[in-house]
Structure 1
Amino acid sequence: NSQLQSRLLCMPGEIRNIIYHYSLTTDLPITDPTTGEPCHTTTKSLHHGIPPLGTALLQTCRLIYYEADIRQLYTRNTFRFTSVTHMHRFLVLLPHEHGRIIEDLEVDIRDINETHPGVSRDWTQYLSWSEGIWAKKLGSLKDDAPAMKVLRLNFEAWPKVSMSRRHLWDILRRLLSNINGLEKVVVVGSTKGMPMAKREPWSPVHFVGSDDVWSDDLVELMSATVGQPDEDKLIRWTRSNGAISLEVVSKVRLRKRNRLWVGKSTAEKSDGSWPENGS
């Protein structure tokens, strides 16, 4: 069809922008994506998964391609990775103008185990907040994704991870220990049943399966990665479908995005369990 016959192009610009936004963004993570480059096609992950997106809209005509703001595909979506190799290759093989604006990245630890300690070691090294020539040679998340504002650590698979609870907690602690300057950090865990519902949302039991671990406070570790030490921050959690998401977010980010948190208070329910959502 010609552009004059397109119902989309006959709509007001504000409506078209809303359609472009919903076509290019999703609430689900984009898992182990590839760039489509020849050197990338042979390294597709077993966990590779792309949720439904309307990117085909960009191929309908030249005007739509140039009118739609493709940057939101990279700034408004969460990119989840199960290995340093997949994250690093994706970020460095993307066109420079796209890879340098990605803001929201997730580390999924499902493939970590004691038999292959290199996986956790690679993540710890990659997340070290270093720069310079060695960071470029060895790989550094800060160097690969300089615009990152949100980091998510997904430990939802902890019940299936073949590793001692203390060792897994040490990995979580080390992943958080060398990061700073974020706007939001999120740790995702697995929680089921009334006994776990009665535990504090920041208890290590939700994220590594035990609270008999080191004495480090999870909230303090997370808070140290966000903003400045004296900056106002909000701690909040959501619990849904057996998963719990604990986050520390700067209030500057909330104001910038015009979002208010309307979760329940921290008071426990009459049965001793904590609210599904709270702050």
Structure 2
Amino acid sequence: MSAPVALTIAGSDSGGGAGIQADLKTFAAHGVFGTSVLTALTAQNTRGVHGVHVVPAAFVTAQLDAVLADIAVHATKIGMLAGAPVVAAVAAAVRRGGLGPVVLDPVMVATSGDRLLDAEAVAAVREDLLPAADLVTPNVPEAAVLLGAAPATDLDGARAQARELFSRTGTAVLLKGGHLTGPQSVDVLVGPDGETLLRRPRVDTTATHGTGCTLSAALAARAALHPGAGWAELAGPARDYLQSALLAGRSLGIGSGHGPLDHAFALREPS
């Protein structure tokens, strides 16, 4: 039997904490073989994004075609897409099929606050790509943008917005609650099987760079490992992996801004 394969379609983070780099680390930590399609190169570190070079849409398609012509992909994670032409190219590939379950992380703003998606591209994600995905994983500000609404300020508001986004698109929604307040971080999963709340203790750390990338990649990895499983079954273990990576990331000491998670926590010797 061949190894399970996951594909990440995302931007590169030169600092190594998010994007393609975080996704491939997460795939490897789950025992999944990772393939990749780069949509953008970023000059980036733990303090911010200093430049973005967008990959031409035609070359994004060429990368996708090359992977799919030779390798069976069992699940796909989509992250930073950078521009409307790239969104259109990726949406067309999703509609053609062969990507397995598709997890869309609608990356719009970096942890540092840097804008990563322009208005035209946001509209393309909302109208063209989102309805074609199987699961979307927005944070509170991203869910508001996708709905054209004010950001939720509490759990009830987040639950309402997750339900509304699922109702509009038919795509399952995991709305991440990290931007809300309280001792617990509560994510809201809404899909065909109803609503599930994922509660984890809030982690006191500044090493949060790449949390969204890591969670969506973990979901794709687990979908590749467990064909046919529902999102409610996959989300808990994926969230547990993120929690452990967050906790371990506090001791990495990488950079002077928002440091990365420790994706390889399970491989490190106890101190």
Give me the TM-score of the superposition, normalised by structure 2.
0.38
Higher relative contact order (CA 8 A, sep 6+): 2
Greater strand fraction, Structure 1 or Structure 2: 2
Give me the TM-score of the superposition, normalised by structure 1.
0.38
Structure with greater Cα Rg: 1
